[in-house]
């Protein structure tokens, strides 16, 4: 397995599967409340769906290329796919064990019984029949199909189906309606018990009852789901309207090539062969799932009891300065302001935009949007600013996968209100999270900036841990103005003094920062590098970290997801230690800390150390200059480095062992919340 788990580099897709295993560990963790464990099963399932739609489809497309080009992109794609399937099968089995042997019995202990059609009582059968006749029958699509014709049946992407052989040469396919809740709660009969079932089972019961009245043998319906290629395959040339191409291409997602066919393992082998033929898929596409698919629906699993079966809520805390000030601009004038979501409220960002929209001194607003919320007060304020005659320029990345439709919607709204809207560039994504505002006061122009690690999205700001910096620093704001000139095609290369900008200066500056720590270590001083990010994959930066390790630099990494760096190898990475935290909030912020012989340099930004972020995306990374904010970030990173409850060790084999030591117990996310709560009280 050297090519997949090489001494130098761990394969990115297999590393992603190890990340998803950490999500599965949270479902298995009995320290989590029952409904939190159920949610982690849903997240695991949703993650895996996207992995097959995106990464597996990419590998299959690479397989079709000529060998010389294919070797440049990925080595031995068939071997990679085989290993992916092996790992997924192991995890799916573990998933089933957790669900069947832990979650369902625990639900029963709480008086919640998740039952199958086989378990329906006579009264429940009557209710199931009534619900089917009154609610489901009219909206359930049922088709009878020949068993012999290749590619004769189309199964929609990510939709749920039931299939059964219902005749000598025919089978029946049933599309489970998604307009009804996935779960049905039977009316309560017993004082301490509630009975819940999938609508899949209500359909199974009624359909099998229907076919039992025919001359066929016993009919059993089995679940099936297909994941399809999520790529839009748009030509990225400069000619033509890229926005319109994306809009036209979105329906292709529902008809793309199958990348995974999930089927009920109880489906008879002969019927599996029929389905492979009529769906025009092969053996490698077929994955044995469970009786039920689309476990992401468990995010909305009903709790009919009055019991508290979830985590205690941690409502966002007010920012100690921005939540009480009369003017966000005045607060920024006095001092840079640092925000940390979801521990602190996202409201100050909305308030900043609302203030900018109505302040007569504000002349210019420029902003990038990567993933917009469906309903958004922030976006409403942007539209209001344009309507009020401000010079508003919004760059919208419509190639942000799975958010294209929503981004196009908001682009149209902004444009209708008078904003200048710029859509995606060919060949490069704009992933930066940046806002630039200009004010005219007494004939003088003043610049303001907001630079963040996460999206301008009120919804994800409640779930993802991110930092945002508001500043009026002259050099930072001047640099940011240059970045927007690049986006507006008025400048080719932004010559920035403070900001690190991909693909122009970020790699070069990060390399220089690492080399500085190497030079310090070589001079007998202490070299320290501490990095927190979603993913680490770029071979060039990994090699720099290996060089740092060999020079004696202490490298401490917090990597949530993909980690291709292999730590703890003698002569390569023995001074590199990596942990990964998976907890109630999604760790999303990117923080880069370099010891610099005691004069610590701290940066935050939108870029992971992946080749796409450093070479193929426009990213913005800002230094943290205020000493109090530097201390805050250092304190919070220290809490994460001390985590011995939700942190896993990322070792050379990525075994995902929990950090265990005799130190006082630290769950960093709860400790971070307490940190900001104490800040308010003090």
1-110 CATH choice from 1.20.58.310, 3.90.1310.10, 1.10.10.10, 1.10.286.10 = 1.20.58.310
Q: How far apart are CA 577 and CA 566, in angstroms?
A: 10
Q: What is the pLDDT of residues 6-51, one digit of tens each?
A: 568 999 999 999 999 999 999 999 999 999 999 999 999 999 988 9
Give the pLDDT mean for 506-534.
98
> Does residue 236 register a pLDDT over 80?
no
- Band (256; pLDDT cuts 50, 70, 90): low
CATH topology of domain 328-494: Endonuclease; Chain A (3.30.870)
Sheet holding 194-198, edge to edge: 112-114, 194-198, 183-185
Contact at 8 Å (CB) between 545 and 568?
Answer: no
Q: How far apart are CA 648 and CA 656, in angstroms?
A: 5
| Cα–chain center distance at 374 | 16
Crossing angle of helices 77-98 and 34-51, rounded to 10°: 160
- Band (234; pLDDT cuts 50, 70, 90): very low
What residues pair up with 145 in beta bridges, in sequence order?
171
> Can you give the pLDDT at residue 533?
98
Mean pLDDT for the chain? Answer: 89
* Three-class SS of 214-278: CCCCCCCCEEEEEEECCCCCCCCCCCCCHHHHHHHHHHHHHCCCEEEEEECCCCCHHHHHHHHHH
| Per-position DSSP letters for 437-466, written without gaps between them | EEEEETTEEEEEEEEESS-S-TTGGGTEEE
Q: How far apart are CA 595 and CA 514, in angstroms?
A: 10
> What's the token pair of residue 428?
């490069």
Q: How far apart are CA 323 and CA 318, in angstroms?
A: 6
* Three-class SS of 59-111: HHHHHCCCHHHHHHHCCCHHHHHHHHHHHHHHHHHHHHHHHHHHHHHHHHHCC
> Does residue 266 register a pLDDT over 80?
yes
Question: What is the phi/psi pair of residue 596, to 5°?
Answer: 55, 45
- Band (248; pLDDT cuts 50, 70, 90): low
> Does residue 604 register a pLDDT over 70?
yes
Using CB atoms within 10 Å of the CB of residue 452, give its burial: 0 to 12 exposed, 13 to 18 middle, 19+ buried: buried
Pick from 193, 177, 194, 189: nearest CA to 132: 177
Strands (E), 624-674: 647-649, 657-658
Contact at 8 Å (CB) between 496 and 475?
Answer: no
Show Cβ contacts of residue 651 under 8 Å, excluding neighbours closer than 6 positions.
567, 568, 578, 657
pTM of the model: 0.89
Using CB atoms within 10 Å of the CB of residue 4, give its burial: 0 to 12 exposed, 13 to 18 middle, 19+ buried: middle
Q: How far apart are CA 103 and CA 95, in angstroms?
A: 10
Contact at 8 Å (CB) between 440 and 363?
Answer: yes
Q: CATH 1.20.58.310: which residues of the chain? A: 1-110
> Can you give the pLDDT at residue 233?
47
Among 93-97, 189-193, 564-568, the range scoring the smallest mean pLDDT is 189-193
Q: CATH 3.30.1840.10: which residues of the chain? A: 113-300
Specify the 3-state DSSP secondary structure of 605: strand
Q: How far apart are CA 100 and CA 106, in angstroms?
A: 10
> Does residue 339 register a pLDDT over 70?
yes
Residue range 502-681, CATH number: 3.30.870.10
The residue ranking higher by pLDDT, 111 or 213, is 111
Give the pLDDT mean for 392-402.
78
Among 56-70, 343-357, 410-424, the range scoring the smallest mean pLDDT is 56-70
CA distances 424 to 72, 335, 494, 594, Å, are 27, 34, 19, 34
Question: Within 13 Å and on the Cβ side, how many CA atoms surround 505?
Answer: 17
Among 131-135, 223-227, 319-323, 644-648, the range scoring the smallest mean pLDDT is 223-227
Q: How far apart are CA 527 and CA 641, in angstroms?
A: 17
Show Cβ contacts of residue 332 under 8 Å, excluding neighbours closer than 6 positions.
448, 470, 471, 472
Q: How many CB atoms lie within 10 A of CB 98?
A: 21
Q: CATH 3.30.870.10: which residues of the chain? A: 328-494, 502-681
> What's the token pair of residue 200?
């899949």
> What's the token pair of residue 460?
């994800």
Q: How many CB atoms lie within 10 A of CB 315?
A: 10
Question: What is the phi/psi pair of residue 26, to 5°?
Answer: -65, -35
Contact at 8 Å (CB) between 596 and 421?
Answer: no
In this structure, whether the domain defined by 113-300 belongs to CATH 3.30.1840.10 is answered with: yes
Q: Which sign, positive or negative, has the C-alpha torsion 11, 12, 15, 17?
A: negative
Q: How far apart are CA 343 and CA 620, in angstroms?
A: 23
Catalytic residue among 21, 222, 340, 431: 431
Measured between its terminal Cα atoms, the distance across the chain in Å is: 55
| Cα–chain center distance at 278 | 34
Give the pLDDT mean for 144-150.
77
Residue 431 a catalytic site member: yes
């Amino acid at each position: 397995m050297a090519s997949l788990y090489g001494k130098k580099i761990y394969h990115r897709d297999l590393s992603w599967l190890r990340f998803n295993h950490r999500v599965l560990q949270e479902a298995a963790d009995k320290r989590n409340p029952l409904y939190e464990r159920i949610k982690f099963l849903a997240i695991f399932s949703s993650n895996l769906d996207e992995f097959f739609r995106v990464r597996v489809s990419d590998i299959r497309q690479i397989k079709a290329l000529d060998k010389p080009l294919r070797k440049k992109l990925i080595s031995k794609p068939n071997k990679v796919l085989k290993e992916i399937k092996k790992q997924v099968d192991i995890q799916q089995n573990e998933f089933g064990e957790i669900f069947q042997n832990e979650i369902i019995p625990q639900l029963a202990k709480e008086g919640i019984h998740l039952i199958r059609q086989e378990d329906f009582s006579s009264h429940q059968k009557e209710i199931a029949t009534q619900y089917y006749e009154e609610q489901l029958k009219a909206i359930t699509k049922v088709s009878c199909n020949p068993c012999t014709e290749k590619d004769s049946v189309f199964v929609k992407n990510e939709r749920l189906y039931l299939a059964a052989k219902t005749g000598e040469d025919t089978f029946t396919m049933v599309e489970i309606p998604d307009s009804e809740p996935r779960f049905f709660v039977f009316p309560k009969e017993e004082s301490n018990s509630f009975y819940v079932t999938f609508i899949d089972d209500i359909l199974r019961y009624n359909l099998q009852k229907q076919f039992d009245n025919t001359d066929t043998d016993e009919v059993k319906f089995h679940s099936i789901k297909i994941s399809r290629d999520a790529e839009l395959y748009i030509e990225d040339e400069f000619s033509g309207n890229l926005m319109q191409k994306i809009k036209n291409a979105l329906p292709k997602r529902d008809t793309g090539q199958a990348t995974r066919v999930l089927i009920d393992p109880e489906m008879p082998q002969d019927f599996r062969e029929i389905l492979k033929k009529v769906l025009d898929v092969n053996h490698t596409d077929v994955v044995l799932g469970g009786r039920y698919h689309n476990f992401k629906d468990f995010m909305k699993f009903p709790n009919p009891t009055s019991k508290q079966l979830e985590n205690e809520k941690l409502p966002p805390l007010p920012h100690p300065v921005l939540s009480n000030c009369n003017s966000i601009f005045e607060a920024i004038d006095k001092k840079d302001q640092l925000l940390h979501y979801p521990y602190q409220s996202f409201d100050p960002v909305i308030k900043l935009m609302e203030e900018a929209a109505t302040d007569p001194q504000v002349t210019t607003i420029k902003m990038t949007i990567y993933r917009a919320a469906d309903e958004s007060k922030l976006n409403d304020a942007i539209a209001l600013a344009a309507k009020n005659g401000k010079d508003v320029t919004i760059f919208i990345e419509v190639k942000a996968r799975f958010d294209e439709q929503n981004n196009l919607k908001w682009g149209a709204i902004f444009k209708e209100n008078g904003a200048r809207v710029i859509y995606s560039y060919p060949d490069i994504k704009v992933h930066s999270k940046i806002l630039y505002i200009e004010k005219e006061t007494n004939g003088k122009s003043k610049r303001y900036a907001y630079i963040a690690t996460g999206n301008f999205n009120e919804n994800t700001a409640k779930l993802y841990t991110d930092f945002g910096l508001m500043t009026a620093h002259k050099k930072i704001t001047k640099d940011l103005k240059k970045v927007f000139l690049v986006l507006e095609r008025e400048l080719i290369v932004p010559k920035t003094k403070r900001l690190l900008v991909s693909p122009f200066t970020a790699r070069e500056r990060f390399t220089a920062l690492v080399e500085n720590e190497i030079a310090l270590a070589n001079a007998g001083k202490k070299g320290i590098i501490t990095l927190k990010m979603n993913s680490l994959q770029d071979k060039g930066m990994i090699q720099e970290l290996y060089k740092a390790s060999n020079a004696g630099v202490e490298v401490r990494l917090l990597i949530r997801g993909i980690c291709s760096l292999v730590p703890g190898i003698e002569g390569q990475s023995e001074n590199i230690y990596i942990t990964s935290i998976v907890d109630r909030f999604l760790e999303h912020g990117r923080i880069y800390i370099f010891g610099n012989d005691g004069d610590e340099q701290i940066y935050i930004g939108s870029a992971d150390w992946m080749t796409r972020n450093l070479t193929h995306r426009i990213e913005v990374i800002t230094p943290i200059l205020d000493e109090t904010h530097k201390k805050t970030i250092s304190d919070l990173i220290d809490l994460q480095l001390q985590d011995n409850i939700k942190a896993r060790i990322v070792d050379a084999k990525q075994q995902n062992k929990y950090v265990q030591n005799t130190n006082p117990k630290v769950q960093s996310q709860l400790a971070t919340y307490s940190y900001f709560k104490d800040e308010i009280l003090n």
